[in-house]
Amino acid sequence: MGILSKLCLICFFCSLYGLRSVVSLFIPEDRLFISCGVNNEIELEDGRLFEPDLGNSNVDFSAKSNSIVSNPELSIPIVYRSARVFTGTAKFTININQVGRHWLRLHFYPVENDKYDLKSALFSVVANGITLLHGFSFSKLENSSPLLKEYVIEIGGSSSEKLVLTFSPWSTSSVAFINGIEVVSVPDGQFDFSVIPIPSRPEFVIPTHVALETVYRINVGGSLLTPKNDSLGRIWIPDWPFLLNAASARNVSEDPRWIKYPAGASVEIAPNWVYATAQEMADANVTEQKFNMTWSFGVERGFNYFVRLHFCDIVSKALNTLIFNVYINNHSAIDTFDISSKTMELSAAYFVDFVLNGSTVSDQILVQVGSANQRNFPSNAILNGLEIMKMSSSTDSLDERFTAMPLSSKVVPKRKRHVLLITLVSVGAFVVLLLIIAAIFFAFSSQKKKPKQYRAWLSFQLGISDTKISANSFASTAASLGLGRVLAFSEIRDSTKDFDESLVIGVGGFGKVYKGVLDNGDEVAVKRGNPKSQQGLLEFRTEIEMLSKLRHRHLVSLIGYCEELNEMILVYEFMAGGPLRKHLYGSGLPPLSWKRRLEICIGAAKGLHYLHTGAAEIIIHRDVKTTNILLDENFTAKVADFGLSKLGPTLDQTHVSTAVKGSFGYLDPEYYRRQQLTEKSDVYSFGVVLLEVLCARPAINPSLPREQVNIAEWAMHWQKKGQLHRIIDPHLVSSISMDSLRKFGETAEKCLAEYGSDRPTMGDVLWNLEYALQLQEASTQSIIEDNSANHIPEIPGWIARVESVDSDDIDVVSTQEYDATNSTGVFSQLMNPRGR
Ligand SMILES: *[C@@H]1O[C@H](CO)[C@@H](O)[C@H](O)[C@H]1NC(C)=O
Ligand SMILES: *[C@@H]1O[C@H](CO)[C@@H](O)[C@H](O)[C@H]1NC(C)=O
Ligand SMILES: *[C@@H]1O[C@H](CO)[C@@H](O)[C@H](O)[C@H]1NC(C)=O
Ligand SMILES: *[C@@H]1O[C@H](CO)[C@@H](O)[C@H](O)[C@H]1NC(C)=O
Ligand SMILES: *[C@@H]1O[C@H](CO)[C@@H](O)[C@H](O)[C@H]1NC(C)=O
Ligand SMILES: *[C@@H]1O[C@H](CO)[C@@H](O)[C@H](O)[C@H]1NC(C)=O
């Protein structure tokens, strides 16, 4: 049969089945499939050919050192059998034919080999300025099966006209690797439809510079679709693992050939296989059905999400008879939706795009459809397909999760022992003397009630966690990248009603802190430098630069600054919940549940872990305490007040030698004996915070009998006897699980170890707290089933509730500063010794 007759035959079938509209007309300009570390072209099961990465005319590869590992294990797909491994930063520069959005797919699999342990390799990947993976490692995942990450990023536009992919090992002892790379053009307009914000706001179009990462792509009611069934190489997975109540739904399907694509829809949006299957409400012909079909998708919080829902009415017999509601995260997304009023025919493809405001996303996205229960209509609802994509943050990142998780490979290589200078020893003796004097002073003055302090609002806010999504604010937040936004003095003055005294929320050495409201309605904390403060312009600038290096969900963030008219003003996000301490004791606020307390500790631990490991240099907070952990309106914990922070030891040091600063009751005894600062000092202070959270009392309470004054001593006394439960907050007694308490007590005990080297890293602490949370959650589950779970039977009768005393506001500060790194003097001079 000649080609011509074949064509005729195809045309015949096309007209017969209406197939014309299904055939893909889009041929991607760029279609690059690269397999790393192979010598010859390989063919995948789905028929796609992957070319070798070297010797490829479109790929320019540069790396200081790299090698190839491979393992011809037949049970895994061919592209995962080899990988290129980098011991230093490596760069792929990939030429493309057409600028615009592209799909970028990265294949990872820790190929077994005897040279490198790829499972524990810890690395970051950046593509044209967008952080795709940050501190990623297979060891942090549940299993080591092949991993396909799919992104949509813009090439050209504001970025380079080539795709530049950078792989960086996390430290000199780690490596990075990659198995395969796919670059495929996205059809024009694929993501240019206006999106409906949830919660409701005016519609907008997602700017092209926003990168997307596919988190879920679901063929509802159908089976797995592979690149064989999708001309754009996408993978669609079945929905049943996400369906909350399998009995509420019933899968329906139609012959894919009958699916029509009205104007606006196309097979590039989704193949007909997706529209040809759906879930409908089970028992749809019972009248007055009152339930929703619900799908739940776990996601990472802190990002906005793009959600595309696909509909195609394959269940109705007539137009305008299927009317239902769609909800996303409990918000109404579409009310009384009638697909056929949009498509004007049955079995026709239709889709709607939404953007979910990150502030409404906790850890899951719920998609629900339920009958609108209109009279005289059958009660039913359907969903055919669903895509959820994470949108890059204002910091151009798509990954914050991994930084906050325990790191398996040691980030900081071993450092050489450092000999302490004799002069420092004598200075140390002087400091100890000062401490004794301070302690005596404190013992005498503690009876006096100090004025309430809100020093926590003086916080230095390190991140730009702004994840707004209006089209306008994208532009403005983009401008603010790096250094925070420059704000006009007039704007700040207006925001604080000309620095109205009634808006003062804190006073510190640097000046006053006001609550303000910016033009766009954002509430902020405005810290205005006192012209007489010791902090000059240069330090002010250095500080902003330092702060801008760090961004994290669990560090309070810097929104902008102003340095007009000799003013030095820093503007931070406003933390509505105030300091953690206020929620623990002394303020009459309702007690927090144990689960919430654990979540707060986990949040704060993530923030500190990031400080210690997330940036190029170790940063030691030096003043970890419950007043420096702030809560937002959702009780998300953020570490604040970096006024004493210091860069940690560099590679050839074990510690930084420095004058002792910090807060009484939280101070690491080893640091205070030896003036040698390491990140483990923060771990100690965090241990005290954990005890404060558990026992709901101040770190130091001089009004108690002597053995009880210091929480660390008192709690460790009971912990060692295995009876920590005798001194916990009575509000927790009935709900805390013994297992969770035990884990928590052990964690605090380890943090408080005498020697820094015996203390866990913040990463380990975090892991243990997460485990304690799991234990608590497991026990609440079992409580529901069986009331006799392992909870503490009764409130210990003898616990004396003592009124809280604001005693830990007395801080320890020495007068001199010996700074081994010296580059960071900015932090040390920042704080006026008074009132720390
Ligand atoms: C549809 O449901 C039936 C019966 O529950 C099940 O056997 C079948 O596997 C389902 N089909 C798909 C594609 O999920
Ligand atoms: C994928 O497409 C092939 C034809 O290209 C078809 O035979 C097969 O049934 C499709 N698979 C699914 C799950 O739809
Ligand atoms: C719908 O209702 C009809 C008549 O009441 C009944 O025969 C049929 O089995 C029902 N269908 C389903 C799926 O329950
Ligand atoms: C939606 O509402 C349910 C029940 O009120 C609640 O359990 C769930 O957490 C809510 N989900 C979201 C994402 O708000
Ligand atoms: C369906 O879910 C939405 C949002 O969670 C809720 O408001 C509505 O009451 C639910 N409908 C039914 C019938 O349960
Ligand atoms: C997202 O939600 C937060 C809190 O509800 C709100 O302040 C913010 O303006 C919203 N952003 C957008 C762009 O809708």
CB 557 within 8 A of CB 636: no
Residues having CB within 6 Å of any atom of ligand 4: 329-330, 362, 364, 366
Same domain as 587, residue 500: no
Same domain as 364, residue 340: yes
Q: Tell me whether residue 121 is in a domain.
A: yes
Give the pLDDT mean for 524-536.
69
Give the pLDDT mean for 150-167.
87
Spacing, Cα 765 to ligand 1 middle (Å): 44
Return the ligand number nearest the Cα of 222.
1
Residues having CB within 6 Å of any atom of ligand 5: 290-292, 327, 330, 368, 370
For residue 565, pLDDT beyond 60: yes
Same domain as 235, residue 218: yes
Q: Closest by alpha carbon to 552, among 738, 393, 672, 336?
A: 393
Mean pLDDT is lowest, of 75-84, 499-508, 619-628, for 499-508
For residue 547, pLDDT beyond 80: no
Spell out the residues 6+ positions from residue 730 whose beta carbon is closer than 8 angstroms to its own. 795, 799, 801
Indicate which residue's Cα is closest to atom 6 of ligand 2.
229
Reduced to 3 states (helix: H, G, I; strand: E, B; else coil), residue 630 is strand
Spell out the residues 6+ positions from residue 18 whose beta carbon is closer than 8 angstroms to its own. 257, 258, 260
- Domain containing 717 equals 578-797+805-816
Same domain as 342, residue 377: yes
Q: Round to whole Å and give the CA distance between 599 and 638.
A: 11
Its sign, for the CA torsion 393, 398, 401, 403, is negative
Same domain as 695, residue 653: yes
Q: Tell me whether residue 473 is in a domain.
A: no
Q: Tell me whether residue 435 is in a domain.
A: no
Q: Closest by alpha carbon to 445, among 740, 184, 810, 742?
A: 810
Return the ligand number nearest the Cα of 257.
2
Average pLDDT score over the chain: 77
For residue 162, pLDDT beyond 80: yes
Mean pLDDT is lowest, of 46-50, 292-296, 797-801, 826-830, for 826-830
Q: How confident is the model at residue 508 (pLDDT cuts 50, 70, 90)?
A: low
| Per-residue pLDDT tens over the stretch 797-818 | 333 333 333 333 333 433 333 3
Q: How confident is the model at residue 463 (pLDDT cuts 50, 70, 90)?
A: very low
Q: Round to whole Å and give the CA distance between 712 and 700.
A: 9
For residue 217, pLDDT beyond 90: yes
The residue among 482 and 559 whose pLDDT is bigger is 559
Whichever domain contains 541, its CATH number is 3.30.200.20
CB 213 within 8 A of CB 207: no
Q: What are phi and psi of 603, to 5 degrees?
A: -60, -50
The residue among 782 and 444 whose pLDDT is bigger is 782
What DSSP line would sit under 157-189, residue for residue?
TTS-SSEEEEEEESSTT--EEESEEEEEEPPTT
Give the pLDDT mean for 179-195.
91
Whichever domain contains 666, its CATH number is 1.10.510.10
Buried b vs exposed e over 250-262: b needs ≥16 C-beta within 10 Å? bbbebebebbbbe
Instruction: Output the pLDDT for position 644.
Output: 64
Q: Round to whole Å and give the CA distance between 511 and 729.
A: 36
Cβ atoms within 10 A of the Cβ of 419, count?
Answer: 7
Spell out the residues 6+ positions from residue 87 whose beta carbon is closer than 8 angstroms to its own. 64, 65, 66, 169, 175
Instruction: Output the pLDDT for position 718.
Output: 92
| Per-residue pLDDT tens over the stretch 263-295 | 888 889 999 999 999 999 887 555 556 789 999
The residue among 515 and 159 whose pLDDT is bigger is 515
CB 622 within 8 A of CB 682: yes
Same domain as 747, residue 690: yes
Spell out the residues 6+ positions from residue 777 whose beta carbon is closer than 8 angstroms to its own. 595
Q: Tell me whether residue 674 is in a domain.
A: yes
For residue 77, pLDDT beyond 70: yes
Spacing, Cα 284 to ligand 3 middle (Å): 8
Spacing, Cα 285 to ligand 3 middle (Å): 6
Question: Tokens 């200081």 belong to which residue?
Answer: 64
Instruction: Output the pLDDT for position 543.
Output: 59
For residue 617, pLDDT beyond 80: no
Reduced to 3 states (helix: H, G, I; strand: E, B; else coil), residue 11 is helix
Instruction: Output the pLDDT for position 421.
Output: 35
For the CA of 292, the closest atom of ligand 5 is: 1
For the CA of 240, the closest atom of ligand 1 is: 14
The H-or-E segment that residue 343 falls in is: helix 339-343
Structure tokens at 630: 């702030």
For residue 4, pLDDT beyond 70: no
Instruction: Output the pLDDT for position 156.
Output: 85
Give the pLDDT mean for 731-748.
92
Q: Round to whole Å and give the CA distance between 709 and 698.
A: 9
For the CA of 253, the closest atom of ligand 1 is: 13
| Per-residue pLDDT tens over the stretch 622-665 | 889 998 899 998 999 999 877 666 676 665 666 666 666 667 78
| Per-residue pLDDT tens over the stretch 297-351 | 999 888 999 999 999 999 998 888 899 999 999 999 999 899 988 888 899 999 9
Q: Closest by alpha carbon to 400, among 470, 545, 306, 299?
A: 299
Instruction: Output the pLDDT for position 826.
Output: 28
Select from 538, 557, 573 the last residue of a domain.
573
Give the pLDDT mean for 526-545.
63
Same domain as 727, residue 591: yes
Same domain as 62, residue 199: no
pTM confidence score: 0.54
The residue among 26 and 579 whose pLDDT is bigger is 579
> Looking at this protein, which amino acid is placed at residue 142?
E
Say if residue 260 carries a ligand binding annotation.
no
Give Cα separations from 479 to 154, 160, 355, 472 (angstroms).
18, 18, 22, 11
Instruction: Output the pLDDT for position 540.
Output: 63
Give the pLDDT mean for 4-10.
41
The H-or-E segment that residue 684 falls in is: helix 680-695
For the CA of 329, the closest atom of ligand 4 is: 13
Same domain as 667, residue 565: no
Reduced to 3 states (helix: H, G, I; strand: E, B; else coil), residue 825 is helix
Q: How confident is the model at residue 368 (pLDDT cuts 50, 70, 90)?
A: very high
Instruction: Output the pLDDT for position 637.
Output: 94
Give the pLDDT mean for 782-807.
43
What DSSP line would sit under 279-347, residue for residue?
EEETTTTSSS---EEEEEEE--TTS-EEEEEEEE--S-SSTT---EEEEETTEEEEEEE-HHHHHSSTT
Q: Tell me whether residue 69 is in a domain.
A: yes
Instruction: Output the pLDDT for position 224.
Output: 93
Q: Round to whole Å and give the CA distance between 578 and 157.
A: 42
For residue 418, pLDDT beyond 50: no
Spacing, Cα 282 to ligand 3 middle (Å): 11
Q: What is the DSSP letter of 141?
A: S
Spell out the residues 6+ positions from residue 786 whose beta carbon is closer than 8 angstroms to its own. none
Q: Using alpha carbons only, how large is the chain's radius of gyration in Å?
A: 30
Indicate which residue's Cα is closest to atom 1 of ligand 2.
229
Reduced to 3 states (helix: H, G, I; strand: E, B; else coil), residue 730 is helix
For residue 66, pLDDT beyond 90: no
| Per-residue pLDDT tens over the stretch 94-112 | 999 999 999 999 999 999 8
Instruction: Output the pLDDT for position 828.
Output: 29
Spacing, Cα 291 to ligand 5 middle (Å): 7
Same domain as 596, residue 560: no
- Beta-bridge mates of residue 523: 517
Q: Tell me whether residue 418 is in a domain.
A: no
Cβ atoms within 10 A of the Cβ of 440, count?
Answer: 10
Q: Round to whole Å and give the CA distance between 213 and 104.
A: 9
Catalytic residues: 623
Q: Tell me whether residue 129 is in a domain.
A: yes
Select from 185, 210, 225 the last residue of a domain.
185
CB 690 within 8 A of CB 772: no
Residues having CB within 6 Å of any atom of ligand 2: 223, 225, 228-229, 273
Instruction: Output the pLDDT for position 334.
Output: 92
For residue 503, pLDDT beyond 50: yes
pLDDT > 90: percent of the chain: 36
For residue 67, pLDDT beyond 80: yes
Whichever domain contains 266, its CATH number is 2.60.120.430
Select from 166, 185, 204 the last residue of a domain.
185
Cis peptide before 579 (omega within 30 of 0): no
- Beta-bridge mates of residue 324: 337, 371
Same domain as 781, residue 645: yes
Mean pLDDT is lowest, of 472-481, 592-601, 681-690, for 472-481
Spell out the residues 6+ positions from residue 359 whose beta carbon is closer than 8 angstroms to its own. 467
Q: Tell me whether residue 146 is in a domain.
A: yes
For the CA of 366, the closest atom of ligand 4 is: 13
Residue from 281, 283, 285 to probe ligand 3 pocket by mutation (most atoms less than 8 Å from CB) = 285
| Per-residue pLDDT tens over the stretch 699-738 | 988 888 888 889 999 999 999 998 999 999 999 988 999 9
CB 191 within 8 A of CB 152: yes
Same domain as 750, residue 652: yes
Residues having CB within 6 Å of any atom of ligand 3: 283, 285
Residues having CB within 6 Å of any atom of ligand 1: 222-223, 238, 251
Instruction: Output the pLDDT for position 371.
Output: 87
Cis peptide before 591 (omega within 30 of 0): no
Q: Round to whole Å and give the CA distance between 149 and 792.
A: 45
Reduced to 3 states (helix: H, G, I; strand: E, B; else coil), residue 347 is coil
Quote the number of domains for the chain.
4
